[in-house]
């Protein structure tokens, strides 16, 4: 799972004149020992989508890759930001163009009006909002571990769920966030499904750590590579820049609940569970019922245990299902996030 290239956490200057970027990182200090406290601290200093930041502007380029690892397209990503409800962001390529306007009354779109396609959907999440939201943290049991990535050792926090009687859970079984040893700089994250995000080339911008190079990978290789080419502060904020044009359409993204039997027809890759030897020895069988969040990209973005007869069977089911891949579910022709249920049956013989 942890095969990736981590560059040293060096801090580079932006090529944008007048950019408010610190020339040196903050002094090293011990990270909080408590997993929840570490996540809370990291949430305050990673990403650029939080309230309280001064207006800024960013330009980035990206490249997408096919399942064989070959380049499949290129594009640009540009953001004008004045607040969580006052921004303009444009994603463009030869095949896709969309501008989103964040307003007090919701999000409006021009260009291609449907949700961002895969893998461009990673742009906003991983550039602006790489950390988990507070609801996800509150519903989990953060568990901290040190993990080696080759010669680099990182401090990782997994948003675990309680599994009574289970041995140590494999790191990455649930959403996991890994940080530099001495600073709360996000270096790697995964939400399961074999997808990992690598963060490199850092700047300290408005007191927040910001990765200028981000790569999203799965077991086949890179999915999308993002390079931030320019970032800096906005000296003036012109309301006209953030005002949706008359032909803009209000976005209606929503989480859809779809029955498990329906989603079976969209299942593209199904990894069978490995029957745990301990459960075979005790002849333990039964059904593990999971609530599954399937992203617009068809990958598993979240798992929740609803029912299980045995902790070993629970872990085996989670390890298998997080690798499943679905054809994206379409609602009115648009790919949407889906909440569904999956049953994994374990039978002796």
What is the SS3 assignment for 26-40? CCCCCCCCCHHHHHH
Among 281, 276, 282, which residue's Cα sits nearest to residue 314?
A: 276
Q: What is the pLDDT of residue 8?
A: 55
Query: Could you give the residue range(s) of every CATH 3.30.2420.10 domain in the chain?
Result: 256-346
| pLDDT < 70: residue spans in the chain | 1-29, 193, 253
CB 210 within 8 A of CB 11: no
Angle at 290 between CA 287 and CA 294, to 5 degrees: 140
CB 123 within 8 A of CB 88: no
Q: H-helix or E-strand containing 211? A: strand 208-218
Q: What are the pLDDT digits (tens) for 236-284?
A: 999 999 999 999 999 876 778 999 999 999 999 999 999 999 999 999 9
Q: What is the pLDDT of residue 5?
A: 57
Q: What is the pLDDT of residue 7?
A: 61
Query: Could you give the residue range(s) of every CATH 2.50.20 domain in the chain?
Result: 21-250
Q: What are the pLDDT digits (tens) for 295-348?
A: 888 889 889 999 999 999 999 999 999 999 999 898 877 788 899 999 999 998
Q: Which CATH number is 21-250's, of 3.30.200, 2.50.20, 1.20.272, 3.10.290? A: 2.50.20
Q: What is the pLDDT of residue 117?
A: 77
Burial of residue 18, with CB atoms counted within 10 A of its CB: 0-12 exposed, 13-18 middle, 19 or more buried: exposed
- So what CATH class is 256-346? alpha beta
Take residue 215 and report the two structure tokens written for it: 């790569």
SS (H, E, C) 311-335: HHHHHHHHHHHCCCEECCCEECCEE
Q: What is the pLDDT of residue 166?
A: 80
Report how far apart, in Å, the C-alpha atoms of 267 and of each of 112, 258, 261, 305, 306 are.
27, 13, 10, 20, 21
């Amino acid at each position: 799972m942890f095969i990736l290239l981590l560059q040293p956490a060096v801090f580079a200057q932006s090529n944008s004149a007048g950019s408010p970027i610190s020339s040196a990182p903050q002094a090293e200090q011990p990270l909080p020992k408590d997993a929840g406290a570490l996540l809370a601290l990291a949430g305050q200093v990673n990403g650029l989508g939080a309230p309280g930041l001064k207006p800024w502007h960013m330009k980035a380029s990206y490249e997408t890759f096919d399942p064989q690892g070959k380049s499949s397209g290129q594009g640009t990503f540009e953001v004008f930001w004045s607040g969580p409800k006052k921004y303009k962001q444009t994603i463009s390529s030869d095949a896709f163009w969309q501008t989103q306007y964040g307003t007090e009354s919701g999000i409006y779109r021009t260009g291609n009006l449907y949700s961002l396609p895969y893998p461009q959907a990673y742009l906003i999440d991983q550039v602006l909002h790489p950390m988990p939201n507070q609801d996800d943290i509150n519903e989990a049991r953060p568990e901290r571990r040190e993990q080696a990535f080759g010669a680099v050792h990182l401090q990782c926090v997994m948003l675990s769920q309680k599994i009574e009687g289970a041995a140590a859970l494999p790191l990455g079984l649930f959403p996991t966030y890994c940080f530099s040893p001495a600073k709360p700089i996000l270096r790697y994250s995964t939400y399961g499904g074999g997808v990992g995000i690598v963060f490199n080339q850092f700047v300290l911008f408005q007191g927040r750590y910001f990765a200028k190079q981000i790569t999203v990978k799965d077991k086949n290789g890179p999915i999308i590579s993002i390079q931030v080419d320019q970032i800096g502060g906005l000296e003036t904020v012109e309301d006209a820049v953030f005002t949706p044009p008359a032909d803009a359409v209000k976005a209606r993204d929503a989480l859809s609940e779809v029955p498990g039997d329906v989603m079976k027809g969209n299942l593209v890759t199904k990894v069978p569970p490995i029957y745990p030897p301990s459960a075979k020895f005790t002849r333990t069988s039964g059904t593990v019922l999971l609530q599954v969040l399937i992203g617009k990209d068809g990958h598993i973005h979240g798992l929740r245990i609803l029912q299980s007869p045995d902790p070993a069977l629970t872990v085996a089911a989670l390890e298998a299902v997080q690798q499943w891949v679905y054809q994206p579910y379409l609602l009115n022709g648009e790919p949407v996030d889906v909440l569904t249920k999956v049953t994994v049956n374990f039978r002796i013989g």
